[in-house]
A and B are shown apart, each in its own frame.
Chain A
């Protein structure tokens, strides 16, 4: 007991313990969210297709994700004899780990963040651009034609859509003037700026579908053409890791959309009366609405053809976002709304007030002297 007390009273070990506990809370929350995301997906898609969805395991089928998880973990992992063993096993682990470590910079509420990085948005972008390696490694290490084709498709697709995603992020950064995710949420956005960023929200929503290999851009695993794509050789636990990583990435991208465009943990439309509801609830609700968009797109849209996917990314989104960056920068410049200019304007105003006060003081002093 004394040892424990000593351990806890040391600020360093306390800091380590606290970080570990926070990390565990975030990771556990994320895994549960992933589990029930699959449930929600099946239920919502069922409703859209006039079916029931899962309904037998537990009340309303609520225990279905747990049953699925147990099934996946208790199956045998099969490693193809011709596979490159280490890379084959490394790929799903890497994909899963990457989808978890990105959450370290996500602010769930004001100050609720594990690492408040100055370059948070770049960190997220870097991690999401790493995701392609898991897929590429899996495709190559399986030593199978279908898996390899899936991996190559995924690599070119993710790179293509990252370009326009980067430009969209630049648009938002022009408005906020900071790379810190909390400051991005808190930066003031006049209504005309919101309207100006709205087309970027649409492009971003489509890009995150492509970035996470989801319908209608799920060509890397298009089962009608290349059976299961890059994960065709994976089974049981290794497959489960891919699955968890994919869904965690979807939730991550929804969180990123929420932070960039939907105001993070702030109540919608800046409504004061409902600000008593904690920020994390708003954050979760906004993420859920973006996730609903994911499911909605999957249930309604047919799969893109590969050349059409590339055409959309390079010939439509890239020129459009590039032009929009210039447009946003020009508008902000013209209306003195760039972050630096905003502060400068405020400083000028403050100086003006000080000068005015000084003038008033002087004139009053003059008056007194005259009297």
Chain B
């Protein structure tokens, strides 16, 4: 138990620090790298909770795919960040006002918010009725039965988003030579080659 607590504080500590570094790092590439570190430690906390499937999916999807594209884009940006920061001071009063309002709201919520006892009870209990089913199995049993329509709906939304992204970014540029493999395969020697007999002395 001591080791679990230690691991939790390690993961949580690194998570908080790296999350802070994401917004304070001067170099955006460093920000993304800290974001990845944060994802990793979040996955570690999921593992401590016994949700190893979600932990792995978090690493595969966010670290392995989303953050790579993030990094990709950020690395390609060619911005002079010193110029970007020059005018930053004039927004400070506005920032202070917004921050103050948010802080006020948080304080009021924190002091007046109460959970109903039923909710706390529900939160403390994991869903029952799975016996000793493993993580992925239990998730599948819920996702494909009780929540099949929300699940399919989210799939549909992702599908539409994917098509939208492709339609928005796809452009046909003129003057680009593209390889058409089927044309190349369909080409025969008889279509393009002609063998001519030339008697000696008449060729150019």
Chain A contacts for B152, CB-based, 8 A = none
Chain A contacts for B56, CB-based, 8 A = 119, 122-123, 125-126
Chain B contacts for A133, CB-based, 8 A = 36, 68, 71
Given known A-B contacts A119-B136, A126-B56, A162 and B179 have beta carbons under 8 A apart? no
- B29 with A140: CB separation less than 8 A: yes
What CA separation (Å) do A208 and B117 show in the bound complex? Answer: 53
Whether A248 is near chain B, meaning CB under 8 Å from some CB there, is: no
Chain B contacts for A308, CB-based, 8 A = 179
Question: Main SS of the interface on chain A?
Answer: helix
Chain B contacts for A156, CB-based, 8 A = 72
Chain A contacts for B63, CB-based, 8 A = 126, 129-130
Chain A contacts for B57, CB-based, 8 A = 122
What CA separation (Å) do A155 and B52 show in the bound complex? Answer: 26
Chain B contacts for A130, CB-based, 8 A = 59, 63-64
Q: How far is the CB of B59 from chain A (nearest CB, A)?
A: 4
- A307 with B179: CB separation less than 8 A: yes
Chain A contacts for B136, CB-based, 8 A = 118-119, 179
- Give B50-67 as 1s and 0s: 1 = Cβ < 8 Å from A's Cβ atoms: 001100110110011100
Q: How far is the CB of B30 from chain A (nearest CB, A)?
A: 8
Question: Main SS of the interface on chain B?
Answer: helix
- B52 with A117: CB separation less than 8 A: yes
Whether B33 is near chain A, meaning CB under 8 Å from some CB there, is: yes
What CA separation (Å) do A122 and B57 show in the bound complex? Answer: 8
- Give A229-240 as 1s and 0s: 1 = Cβ < 8 Å from B's Cβ atoms: 000000000000
- Give A79-102 as 1s and 0s: 1 = Cβ < 8 Å from B's Cβ atoms: 000001001000000000000000
Residue of B nearest to A140 (CB): B75
Given known A-B contacts A117-B52, A122-B56, A129 and B65 have beta carbons under 8 A apart? yes
Whether A260 is near chain B, meaning CB under 8 Å from some CB there, is: no
What CA separation (Å) do A155 and B74 show in the bound complex? Answer: 13
Q: How far is the CB of A143 from chain B (nearest CB, A)?
A: 11
- A155 with B60: CB separation less than 8 A: no
What CA separation (Å) do A84 and B179 show in the bound complex? Answer: 39
Q: How far is the CB of B17 from chain A (nearest CB, A)?
A: 16
What CA separation (Å) do A179 and B135 show in the bound complex? Answer: 10
- A132 with B68: CB separation less than 8 A: yes
Whether A241 is near chain B, meaning CB under 8 Å from some CB there, is: no
Total contacting residues, chain A, CB less than 8 A: 27
Chain B contacts for A311, CB-based, 8 A = 179, 181
What CA separation (Å) do A156 and B64 show in the bound complex? Answer: 12
- A118 with B65: CB separation less than 8 A: no
Q: How far is the CB of B164 from chain A (nearest CB, A)?
A: 18
Whether A136 is near chain B, meaning CB under 8 Å from some CB there, is: yes
Q: How far is the CB of B98 from chain A (nearest CB, A)?
A: 33
Which A290-333 residues sit within 8 Å CB-CB of chain B? 307-308, 311
What CA separation (Å) do A243 and B41 show in the bound complex? Answer: 28
Whether B154 is near chain A, meaning CB under 8 Å from some CB there, is: no
Chain A contacts for B24, CB-based, 8 A = none
What CA separation (Å) do A191 and B158 show in the bound complex? Answer: 37
What CA separation (Å) do A84 and B33 show in the bound complex? Answer: 13
Whether A159 is near chain B, meaning CB under 8 Å from some CB there, is: yes
Q: How far is the CB of A168 from chain B (nearest CB, A)?
A: 15
Given known A-B contacts A129-B60, A308-B179, A152 and B72 have beta carbons under 8 A apart? yes
Chain A contacts for B59, CB-based, 8 A = 126, 129-130
Residue of B nearest to A125 (CB): B60
Whether A252 is near chain B, meaning CB under 8 Å from some CB there, is: no
Q: How far is the CB of B43 from chain A (nearest CB, A)?
A: 8
Chain B contacts for A253, CB-based, 8 A = none
What CA separation (Å) do A152 and B73 show in the bound complex? Answer: 10
What CA separation (Å) do A84 and B26 show in the bound complex? Answer: 13
A126, A140, A159, most chain B CB atoms within 10 A:
A126
Chain B contacts for A117, CB-based, 8 A = 52
Chain A contacts for B36, CB-based, 8 A = 133
Q: How far is the CB of A329 from chain B (nearest CB, A)?
A: 13
- B52 with A159: CB separation less than 8 A: no
- B60 with A87: CB separation less than 8 A: no
Whether A219 is near chain B, meaning CB under 8 Å from some CB there, is: no
What CA separation (Å) do A87 and B32 show in the bound complex? Answer: 12
Q: How far is the CB of A148 from chain B (nearest CB, A)?
A: 8
Chain A contacts for B29, CB-based, 8 A = 84, 87, 140
- Give A139-176 as 1s and 0s: 1 = Cβ < 8 Å from B's Cβ atoms: 01000000010011001100100100000000000000
What CA separation (Å) do A137 and B36 show in the bound complex? Answer: 12
Q: How far is the CB of A178 from chain B (nearest CB, A)?
A: 8
What CA separation (Å) do A148 and B52 show in the bound complex? Answer: 35
Chain A contacts for B72, CB-based, 8 A = 136, 152, 155-156
Which A236-274 residues sit within 8 Å CB-CB of chain B? none
Q: How far is the CB of A313 from chain B (nearest CB, A)?
A: 14
A119, A140, A156, A159, most chain B CB atoms within 10 A:
A119
- B71 with A122: CB separation less than 8 A: no
- B68 with A155: CB separation less than 8 A: yes
Q: How far is the CB of B135 from chain A (nearest CB, A)?
A: 6
Residue of A nearest to B40 (CB): A130
Query: What would 6 A/B residue contacts be, using CB atoms closer than 8 Å?
Result: A84-B27, A119-B56, A126-B56, A126-B63, A132-B64, A311-B179
Contacts A132-B68, A136-B71, A140-B29 known; 6 new A-B pairs at CB < 8 A: A118-B134, A119-B135, A122-B53, A125-B56, A126-B64, A152-B76
